[in-house]
Structure 1
Amino acid sequence: MADALEPEQLETYFALMEAVSLLQHAVEQQLRAEGDLSYVQFQLLARLAGAPERRLTMTELADGVVYSRSGLTHQAGLLEKAGLVTRGPSPEDQRSTLVTITEDGVARVDKVLPGHVRVARGLLFDPLSDRDLHALGDIMARVRDHMRAQPPRSAASRRRAT
């Protein structure tokens, strides 16, 4: 059957999905326990903390985080309410919303980062040799780049209900 995955492909797919789920669950638990953050909120804060002038437009954040625009707006609102970011119009383009991490936001990232690194290292990197790490990095970068080259969901044609 042309639409079926080969046994090795299927085994690899399920191993990848299980590993991602286990890692994401452990990371979510650590972020909630140590910083009262979801993984998406952590991603947003970490990207902002590493950005020039510690600010990005919502579009720039959306380009780096795989999350719906409405969900991203909601998460940014929660972070703003918690005092971890501010939002406002961009001075360069009034149509763009600029998100800036606050000092409290930077402090929250600094608080959770050591635990985040500990979880990632313990679950993902410790069982790998240097050679494994290099190979996995190359493979995942290639897969990621291939996926990012596909048209975004928003560009997909929509079928009308008949």
Structure 2
Amino acid sequence: MTDSPPGLDPAQIEAYFALMEAVGLLEHQVEQHLRADGGISYVQFQLLARLAAADGQLTMTQLADGVVYSRSGLTYQAGLLEKAGLITRGTSADDERATLVTITDAGLALFRKVLPGHVQVVRRQLLAPLSDQDLHDLGDIMTRVRDHMRNEPPRSAAPRKRRQR
């Protein structure tokens, strides 16, 4: 009989489940707001937000590196945003292999429309129960966790897995 890896102790499992439940509840509230006020998903909001913060343009690779989403899913979401007239996609002048994504005026207007409600949901659901010290500690903890998780190359730089036939 082989030794099995150690499990999580009660404090670790409690912290893990609390984090996952809080993230799930926050995602649900944010998603409901974005669907109701803008007709977009959270992933689409993330794409518009990242484009708005980057002065309107990023490559698909840059978007993929910043958004936790599969390549095919990101391409699909970008296609929906393009079809809705919220972004455009084209070849980069600097690198013909890169696809440049640009937020349109309509995309920026929609982002600005849903942003105040998004902020309100985040404040009400996440920030309201936290003291300034709690917020500082949470930011520090989650930054360390995120940086640890992102210590590997970004998914957009990882080789694609080939299907076995």
TM score, norm. by length of structure 2: 0.91
Deviation at 1:157, TM superposition (A): 9.7
Q: 2:37 aligns to what SS in structure 1?
A: helix
Query: What is the rounded CA distance, in whole Å, between the counterparts of 2:16 and 2:141 in structure 1?
Result: 14
Structure with higher helix content = 1
The runs of 5 or more residues in structure 1 that have no matched partner are none
Q: Partner of 1:139 in structure 2?
A: 141
Aligned match for 1:47, one of 44, 47, 50: 50
The runs of 5 or more residues in structure 2 that have no matched partner are none
Percent sequence identity is: 69
Q: 1:149 aligns to what SS in structure 2?
A: coil
Query: What is the rounded CA distance, in whole Å, between the counterparts of 1:104 and 1:25 in structure 2?
Result: 25
Cα RMSD (Å) of the superposition?
2.1
1:73-84 paired onto structure 2 within 5 Å: 73-84=75-86
Aligned AA for 1:109?
A: F
Aligned AA for 1:75?
A: Q
Query: What is the rounded CA distance, in whole Å, between the counterparts of 1:98 and 1:156 in structure 2?
Result: 21
Aligned AA for 2:34?
A: L
Q: Partner of 2:13 in structure 1?
A: 10
Query: What is the rounded CA distance, in whole Å, between the counterparts of 2:160 and 2:60 in structure 1?
Result: 24
TM score, norm. by length of structure 1: 0.93
Q: Partner of 2:89 in structure 1?
A: 87
Aligned match for 1:62, one of 43, 64, 68: 64
1:25-54, CA deviations, whole angstroms, 9 ceiling, x for partnerless residues?
Answer: 0000000000000000000000001103x1
The number of aligned residues is: 161
Aligned AA for 1:44?
A: L
1:17-28 paired onto structure 2 within 5 Å: 17-28=20-31
1:34-88, CA deviations, whole angstroms, 9 ceiling, x for partnerless residues?
Answer: 0000000000000001103x10000000000000111101100000000000000
Q: Partner of 1:32 in structure 2?
A: 35
Query: What is the rounded CA distance, in whole Å, between the counterparts of 2:154 and 2:65 in structure 1?
Result: 10
